[in-house]
Amino acid sequence: MKCGPDNCPITMWAELTPAEQRAKRKATAEKLYQQGFTMDAIAKQLGASKNTIHHDLANCSTVEQSKPAKTATNPKGAGRPKGSKKKEITEKHQKIVAAADAGTSKPAIAEQAGVGERMVGRVLEVETARRKTVEDLIGAAAAQKFSKSGALRIEDAIRIHKDRLNKAFEQKVDEEVRKRIAAADNATREQNKKLRQENLQLRQMMDKRGVFSDTQFNDLIKCIHPDNSASIATRNALLPFLLRNKQRLITSVH
């Protein structure tokens, strides 16, 4: 039963007399519980204790049933088989999640599962948080495998986690190699820059040095002077010197 302005159990409850409330408390509690209200919320809305509401919901299909009648061999009652209720709830939640994954709307899921839309919303919120946690811990691939198979083996989780660690390690190594290569390149560029500066300074110093000594210059003047007073020995000594210093005496060679 869906809650609306005309049939809201809480609104109708407020209009009842105390005697009518006592008579209709059980039925109203069941309607609220099926719509997704907790026992605490129902007890608060109906002005009753939680134990009273639990007793009212004892035979409700969505609440854990009371223990079977006592027998001679089981004076306290056997109760439900261990884990049966938890399994039932788990299966119902799995059906809700599967229906949501298939694109079914919340109202349709609630009708199919026999629960309220609020209950469907809570189940889907928990499932969304669970999947996000799995994805954060062991990666998107594991989360996809988990959601498809419904269970992730510990071996798969370990393998996926190791793959992530290996990729992270490879990334760190690659980053470190890149940093060292960049540092080495910077050092090489600085060294080359320093060598170029030293070569330039050396060339400038060599350019500033004189080509001839005073004696050599005077001998050259003698050779080219119109009087041509240089001796053969002087000319023979000056000629090899001029040839050796050809590059310093001319601007270019053609």
Q: Decide which of 63, 97, 115 is a domain's last residue.
A: 63
Between the CA atoms of 99, 101, 104 and 106, what dihedral angle is there, to the nearest 10 degrees? 80
- Both 91 and 147 in a single domain? yes
Note down the domain range covering 51: 1-63
- Both 97 and 55 in a single domain? no
For the segment 68-91, what is each residue's pLDDT rounded down to a tens digit? 445 555 555 544 445 566 777 888
In a domain, 72, yes or no: no
- Both 6 and 58 in a single domain? yes
Could you give the CA distance from residue 58 to residue 65 in angstroms, rounded to a whole number? 5
In a domain, 75, yes or no: no
- Both 196 and 218 in a single domain? no
In a domain, 74, yes or no: no
Residue pair 134/152 in contact (Cβ under 8 Å)? The answer is yes
- Both 175 and 228 in a single domain? no
- Both 1 and 58 in a single domain? yes
CATH of the domain at 59: 1.10.10
Supply the pLDDT for residue 163: 79
- Both 119 and 157 in a single domain? no
For the segment 97-154, what is each residue's pLDDT rounded down to a tens digit? 889 888 899 889 988 888 888 888 888 888 888 777 666 665 555 555 555 554 556 6
In a domain, 77, yes or no: no
Q: Based on the number of CB atoms within 10 Å of its own CB, is 149 exposed (0-12), middle (13-18) or buried (19 or more)?
A: exposed
In a domain, 11, yes or no: yes
Count how many domains the chain has. 4
Supply the pLDDT for residue 2: 46
Supply the pLDDT for residue 132: 73
Could you give the CA distance from residue 251 to residue 254 in angstroms, rounded to a whole number? 10
